[in-house]
Amino acid sequence: MIFNKTVKNILQSPISFLLFLLLIITSFLFFFNDFHQEDASILQVHYIDVGQGDSILIQTPQNRNILIDGGEKNQGSFLKGYLEKQGVKHLHMVIGTHPHADHIGGLGFILENFSTDLIILPPIAHTTKTFEDLLSTIERENIPLRSIPSSEPYLFENNLILEFLGPHRDFQDHLNNWSVVLKLTYLNHRFLFTGDIEYAAENALIQDFSPETLSSHVLKVPHHGSSTSSSLSFLEAVAPRISVISSGKENPYGHPHKETVERLLNFSPHLYRTDLQGTILIESDGVELWSPTSPISHDTSGY
Ligand SMILES: [Zn+2]
């Protein structure tokens, strides 16, 4: 009764009414904010446009950051800005897929600018200055360095599993095939990151793992869409719904190669290309998968 009377008094005075309205709006905003925080259970995978090269930022539902590759050295400063724009202050894991400059060139600058828990590199050395500079930075910054872990599923955080599927063979001096291959599973969705692997490493994956293990909703297309990768049998095993090609506009290698794009379009109903569309963001809440960017080609069956 007292409450009803108070409410009635408030509603009768214009100023009190406005204050009352403000209180309602504020409460709503608090509620919405709480609701929004629950929305933090979204996984974001940014295929960053670093020209000809690779750089992928994974922001996990529990706000951890994983960076796979850092593009060429001249992309370091742009990449730093991009990470800052995404609110990245700390990197929980950095992966240099293999020692080529278009993958590790920009990583040194990133490691100097962001505290990093762990860096993972494949067990292969390279004699270039770029690779040696990266090793010196890792040592100078005192960042724990690990060769790739076993392929056993590793619970990175609640509901998010990492599997290091490669390299687990000796590919001699074929550096591309030594690329770290990482599978990420978040609830219903699986993402496959392949660096620059070519046919030999793809075949090794097919021999070492079942199609159930390899099958993924989202494939980072190996080696910038080169025709020496993405074999029919590999695409059959992975059967991606979404494929993302990371390559530079008018690059001297002609990446992605026409035949690879055609092969991908036959297998993967949704194709994205950083050379044509810039940075591609793919998001998942574990049930739905979406992107703010429309794919180059798509069917109507959804993801
Ligand atoms: Zn490359």
Cα–ligand 1 centroid distance for 55 (angstroms): 10
pTM: 0.86
Return the half-sphere exposure (C-beta side, CA atoms, 13 A cut-off) of residue 33: 6
Average pLDDT over residues 205-226: 97
Q: Are strands 93-95 and 119-121 parallel, antiparallel or unpaired?
A: parallel
pLDDT value at 79 more than 50: yes
pLDDT band of residue 267 (cuts 50, 70, 90) is confident
b/e per residue 216-244 (b: at least 16 CB within 10 A): bbbbbbbbbbbbbbbbeebbebbebbbbb
Distance CA 58, CA 161 (A): 13
Number of H helices, E strands in the chain: 11, 17
Classify burial at 67, counting beta carbons within 10 Å of its beta carbon; exposed 0-12, middle 13-18, buried 19 or more: buried
Ligand 1: centre distance to CA 195 (Å): 7
Longest dimension (CA), the chain: 84
Tens of pLDDT, residue by residue over 7-53, are 455 445 665 655 555 555 555 444 444 444 445 699 999 999 999 99
Distance 265 CA to ligand 1 centre (A): 21
**Residues 6 or more apart from 36 whose CB is under 8 A from it?**
none
| Spacing, Cα 281 to ligand 1 middle (Å) | 20
Cβ–Cβ contacts within 10 Å for residue 151, how many?
A: 16
Query: How many angstroms is it from 10 CA to the middle of ligand 1?
Result: 67
Mean pLDDT of 236-246: 97
